[in-house]
Each structure stands twice: as structure tokens, then as C-alpha cells.
Structure 1
Amino acid sequence: MSEQFPGAAALASFIRSGRREDRTAYRSLSGTDREAYRRLVSAVFDITVVRHFGGDRPAERIERLIAGAAKRHPEYGGSIAVVLRALNGGEEALAKLSSRQLLTAQHLVIREIAKRHPELQVEADQAVAAAASMAAKAPEAPAAQAKQETPAAKAPERPPVPEAPPAPAEPKPPSPADFKLPDSYEAQIAEAKDFLKHIPAGPNLKAAEAILSQAPSREEIKELQRKAAEAQTVLDGVESARFEGSAGAVTVALDATGRIRGLALGTDAVRYGNRELAEAVVAAFGSAERLRAKESVDLFSKASGLGEPGSGDAEILRRIEAFQAERADARYVHTPESGLCRAEADQRGQLTALMFLTGNVARETDRDALAKQIREAVAAAQRAAAAPVAAMTAELLAAA
């Protein structure tokens, strides 16, 4: 960790573990070091907020996050609410918080988001390093930005919120909904039709007439763009949805299709034997899957409503469902090259078993490295289960 930001290692440890000792370790720092640490926490706060909310910050999602964090830390519920509601305005309320209240609330929000995005726990060191780089480039905030023991004149300033989380992101492709139809569209169509009289009779004329006869009206194009924007919104919701389940010291996150996207091990995991840890991973996966099955229905019902009636999508989905039901007893197994474990998934990609193949892995393997290997083994088993479904779907689409 950068020496420019003392306490960075403790902050990364807190993101992973949530331990109070890590959260309060900064109190031993001197005044200058403590101010640098505050700037670092603010930058990590901004990164995690972007990771959780993306570009939009709907009030209802902010309130859900407040409720979740305040339920776990009721004594800090008021400060947490002030800090999160300030994301959508209300920064003046921040000035009423002492610097310790602000810092504690930011810590707890960071940890709450990390629990909902286990990949942040895995990447805690990288996230803190990225935040350190941001904080180093930002102007140093005056020590009196937050209230120390007396009220401050204005709310604390945080480094600029990054446009994207530190993880590399693919550039967003242009959307049809963003295309602006020129004001002269109708005139251009009319001019093209008028030009047809200069084309000699024959196949070229027939082809041009056919193309122009199918030119959509401005209203039809606007309706298509509206549907495209609606479809993109639904797709974004499906792609960003995460469903988290926990069992003991294990937390698993699934996406809307049931694929594993994160797995984190708490500090108590070191006390687990191999069988106990394997059972906890399977149980956490099952908990996340039940939540996904319950809450993703609305997402996919919106997605299914975007297709044209009678388009054949429903029949393809029915065939896939039948295929999976017929192969309910099929199992797909993956063992990583390390030989650490063996993950087993059924035809639907649900984790059915996990076995560790070496000694007490929780004690002998770094916690983050262990979580990563388990996640990759489960993901590989899921990919193996998805392969025959994908092949069948390709055949159906080719025959359609």
C-alpha cells in the first residue's frame, strides 16, 4: 500500500472482513496522516458507490441501502442516512456531522456495498490502490471541511466521482435510440422517389421502388427507437442484477441467469474444516439461487414482453426447459489445475456439490485466493452445463 496514505492496509482489510479493529485503526494516526486517510476513505467511498449504483442513483435504491446498513448498525443509522442521501442532494446535512461520524458512516457504507458485491472484497487491495491514486491527484481538503468538535461552514468535499469503477469496462456501443432523424428526412424520401423517373425500366428501378416503398415514416422510426430504449433499459437491468446469499462465513453472488459472479469468505472461514466449508458454499449458493428465482421473474417477464407476438421465442424457451428437465440427473464436474477442489453443477447450472481435495484448505490457503479458486471452479462447471443448452439453442435458431 502507498505510504502516502497510512492506514490503507487496514482499510483494505476492513473491506474484506468488516472488523471493527480495522475500521478504527486510523485513530492511532497523527493529524496529518489522519487527514490523508480521510481523503483515501472518501475516494474508496466514491468508487464503491459507482460500483453499486452505476450512473443512476434512484432514491428507492438509496433508501434500501440505508435500511440494510442501518439494520446492521442501528447506532449509526442517522449518519449513514445523511451520507447516502447526500448523493442526490442534501449535502448541507453533512456539515452537521463530526469528522468521526462522517468517517464511520463512509466506512459502514463501503462495507455494506462490499457485502453485496463480493468481487469488491476480492479486489479490496486494488480498489484501495485505485482510490489512493485518485486521492493523490485531488486537491487536498482543508482540515476543517468536516466539523471537528464545532460546526463547520460547509460540507466536506470528496475527490471527483469516477465515471466507472476501477474494473475495466467495455465501451458502450451506440444505441439506435440515440440516432437523430434529420429534419429533412421526408424531403429526402420525396426527392428519392421523384428521381425514380430518371431510372430506366428494369431490375434496378424495381429494386429502388421496393426499397423506397418500405421506408418507415418518422412516427414509425420514433416508435422503434422507443422500443429500442425500453429494450436497452431491460437488458441493463438484467445484466447488472446481482442476487446474494450467505451461509455462515460464505457469501455468494449470482447474476440474473444464475451464473456465479462473486464469492467471499469471512474471517471465520479459517475455523471451517473442508466438509463444513464445502457445505457452506453450497448452502450460500442455494440461498442466492432462491432469491434469484424469486426476484428475477419480473426482470425476465419484462424482457420476454419485448419480442414480437408469435416470434417463436416462447417455443425455444419451452424446448430449453424441456431439455433441462429431461437431463435433470446430468452432472458437470470441474477440477482446477491446482487440484484444490471439485465443483459439480446440474443441467441448470446450479451448484450441487463441492469437494476439497487437499488438506484443511481454509487454514492452509490465503482466504482471497481460496475464494477465487472456488468461484472459478464453480463457474467452469456452470459453463460445461451451459454448453449443450447453447448447442441445442443454436440448432433451433438455425432451423427457424
Structure 2
Amino acid sequence: MPRSVPGSSSGPGALVLYIQTGDRNARISYRELAEPERLAYRDTVNRVFDAALSQYFGEHPSREEVDDLTERVAARHPQYGGGVKRVLRALVEGGRRGEISPRQIITAQHLVIREIAKLHPDFRKAADRIVAEASASRLPGGSEPDMATLAAAYPAESAAANDPEVLRLRAALEAEQRKTAEMRESLLDAEFSGTDSNAVATVTLGLDGSMRDLELLRGAERMGGRSIAVCVLRAWVVAEKQRWNRAKELGKHDSFPKPGSGASKGDTFLCEAYSSTRLCRATVDRYGRLRGVTFMRTDLLGDDGRHGLAAEIREAIDGAQVELKTTL
């Protein structure tokens, strides 16, 4: 059973603050906790760390993906690079972390969580919920009965149904059902953002796989068209892995093959469209997944710089996905 974590200045509240802002004091404030609370906090960080890795890697991270994230975190925090490397390498080496102290582990976990939060705005925005779920504890003796059990035990027409405790449970369960329905609705409208390892492009997808947004980040101006196209494709793959995992959990828009599984190998169906200026051509497969971005000339940047170029790419991808819907 998860330990409860009291307080907000040095417990889960501090973890939320760190995920959202990267504040160092929030990261190290757990050291002020008494031993039981500190152990509980470590439990919470472990679960948030697992959630962050699932968000970033999906189910089975490759060594290349792990190395990319390791290098990214170590570049920002070179003094902690060794601990970060050992903690992340454990993902692909059977859980071995070598000679590393608990403080080094939790520091590395914090840094990785924060880096993933920066790469995935939806994870950062959901920090309150993620940390709350990670630190929540069940009531002693197990959870309270569900609505079906309560209704069977205390039918509405029975005298016991008006017992104050039964009424309290019924009201609490009805509120929980409403909350669950609202949460499911929000999940169906969720967005999944991915950024390439060079932090050049960010892609945001809806649960149905449609593109919601695409941005080119600072530094794209210094790159050539082929390099930008590769970064956009890699960012799309990161976002699509998140989308696919959540779609499978919800049982919605989950007919797409798993990214990287090779299940669609040999399927040559493609759909393409150009931006209105014909600067950019985008190609998608039968599932609407981006397969290629091609620039038709080398002079890519106009008066609006990278923002204008991102708009051209978005227009081409939107066109290809719309064309796909009319074709299939």
C-alpha cells in the first residue's frame, strides 16, 4: 500500500512545483522531512518517475532512446551525469544501478522527470494529478464499496437506505462516478506532445492521431531542410508513441499498429498534400501518421522566420490528413 505523503512545502506539493518550474529548492526540500515521510516521498518519486518514463518511452525503451535522454539530461546537469546514466541504463540492463546511493538515485530521478516535463507540456500541465495519484493512499481496510454493491445491499426502498452513513457513501460514490466520467471525457480530448532529441521541433497530436500543433523551436533557422524534416518526423514519433499507449488504455482510436512494430511494413498506401505556396509537401500513411516532409526549394525562411516555416509544414500536414479522410 502506498505511503501517504503529508505536507506541500516539502512533500508532493514541492514535487509538483519542481516538475512545473524546475525550482532547485523544491527539488531538495524532501531532505527536511522526517524519516517516515522521506521514505514515503521516495515512493512517490519512484511512481512519478515510472509515469514520466512511460510518457517518454512507451513500454519498451531502446538503448538508443535511453542514451539520447541520458545525454540530454547530463548536458544540462554535468555534475549529476554519472547518476543519471546509471539510473536510466537500468531500464535496459535489467534494473542494475551499480554503486549509487539513495540520494543519487532520487536526484537523478528528479532531473529526468523535469527534463521529460519540459519536453512534454501535457505531462507538465498534469503534474498535480500525476503526483496526487502517485502519493495517494487507500483507506485502512481497503476501498469503500462501489455503487453496484451499495445498491444491492441497501435498495432505495429499504429503511436502511436512509441511514446517514449509507446516504454519505451513496453521495460520495455518485460524486466519484461524475468525476470519473469527466476525467474520461477529458482523456478523450487529450493532447500528446513530442519533441525531437535536438529540441528543434515539437508536435502535438490528438487522441485520434490528428495533428493539433507543430512548432519549430529556436535553432531551426540554422538548419537545412532535410535536417528540419528529420526533426519533425522524430518529434511526431515521440508524440505518436504517447498517443498510441493512451489509445490502447482507453480502447479508442486504437486500431493503429504499434509504432515501430513493423506491422504496417509493406503497406505502400500514402497520401500527400502541399502547402498553399508549394514550399512544403507532407506525406502521411493510411493511419494519418506522418511519413515524410519535403521542401521544394532551399530558401525556406521568409519574413516570419521559423514560425512561418512551421505554418507551411502544418498546412501541408493538415492537407494530407484531410485528403486521407476523403480518400479512404
Contact 2:87–2:108 (CA<8 Å) still a contact in 1?
A: yes
Indicate the residue corresponding to 1:18 in structure 2: 22
Indicate the residue corresponding to 1:111 in structure 2: 114
Pick closer, same or farther for the CA change 1:261–1:110 going to 2, 3 Å: farther
Compare 290-299 and 47-56 and name the one that shifted more: 290-299
Pick closer, same or farther for the CA change 1:129–1:285 going to 2, 3 Å: farther
Higher helix share: 1
Q: Give 1:260 shift.
A: 4.9
Query: Does residue 1:293 correspond to 2:229, yes or no?
Result: yes
Indicate the residue corresponding to 1:253 in structure 2: 202
Give the secondary-structure state (helix, strand or coil) at the position aligned to 2:97: helix
Distance 1:303 1:293 in 2: 24
Q: Give 1:305 shift.
A: 7.5
Distance 2:112 2:277 in 1: 42
Identity of aligned residues (%): 29
Query: Does residue 1:46 correspond to 2:50, yes or no?
Result: yes
- Quick one: which amino acid aligns to residue 324 of structure 1? S
Pick closer, same or farther for the CA change 1:383–1:101 going to 2, 3 Å: closer
CA RMSD of aligned residues (A): 4.7
Distance 2:201 2:279 in 1: 25
- Quick one: which amino acid aligns to residue 103 of structure 1? I
Distance 1:295 1:98 in 2: 36
* 1:35 aligned residue (35, 39, 42): 39
Indicate the residue corresponding to 2:127 in structure 1: 124
Give the secondary-structure state (helix, strand or coil) at the position aligned to 2:202: strand
Contact 2:276–2:315 (CA<8 Å) still a contact in 1?
A: no
Distance 2:266 2:277 in 1: 26
TM-score (structure 2 length as normaliser): 0.52
Distance 1:244 1:64 in 2: 7
Give the secondary-structure state (helix, strand or coil) at the position aligned to 1:324: coil
Pick closer, same or farther for the CA change 1:385–1:8 going to 2, 3 Å: same
Q: Give 1:8 shift.
A: 0.8
Indicate the residue corresponding to 2:248 in structure 1: none
Q: Give 1:245 shift.
A: 7.8
Contact 2:74–2:81 (CA<8 Å) still a contact in 1?
A: yes
4+ runs deviating over 6 angstroms: 166-170, 302-305, 382-389
Indicate the residue corresponding to 2:289 in structure 1: none
* 2:66 aligned residue (45, 62, 72): 62
* Number of aligned residue pairs: 221
Is the radius of gyration larger for structure 1 or structure 2? 1
Q: Which runs of 5+ in 2 are unaligned?
A: 139-182, 238-261, 281-305
Contact 2:19–2:124 (CA<8 Å) still a contact in 1?
A: yes
Q: Give 1:292 shift.
A: 5.4
- Quick one: which amino acid aligns to residue 254 of structure 1? V
* 1:324 aligned residue (267, 273, 276): 276
Give the secondary-structure state (helix, strand or coil) at the position aligned to 2:277: helix
5 Å-filtered alignment, 1:1-400, equals: 4-6=5-7, 7-94=11-98, 96-133=99-136, 136=137, 242-243=195-196, 253-255=202-204, 259-260=211-212, 293-296=229-232, 306-308=266-268, 313=270, 317=272, 320-321=273-274, 324-325=276-277, 351-352=307-308, 397=327
Distance 1:104 1:77 in 2: 11
Distance 1:391 1:92 in 2: 47
| Cα offsets for 1:181-225 (capped at 9, x unmatched) | xxxxxxxxxxxxxxxxxxxxxxxxxxxxxxxxxxxxxxxxxxxxx
Contact 1:69–1:112 (CA<8 Å) still a contact in 2?
A: yes
Contact 1:243–1:255 (CA<8 Å) still a contact in 2?
A: no
TM-score (structure 1 length as normaliser): 0.44
Give the secondary-structure state (helix, strand or coil) at the position aligned to 2:49: helix
Q: Give 1:39 shift.
A: 1.1
Q: Which runs of 5+ in 1 are unaligned?
A: 138-165, 171-238, 263-280, 329-349, 354-377
- Quick one: which amino acid aligns to residue 12 of structure 2? A
Pick closer, same or farther for the CA change 1:242–1:282 going to 2, 3 Å: closer
Contact 2:211–2:318 (CA<8 Å) still a contact in 1?
A: no
Pick closer, same or farther for the CA change 1:52–1:392 going to 2, 3 Å: closer
Pick closer, same or farther for the CA change 1:261–1:99 going to 2, 3 Å: farther
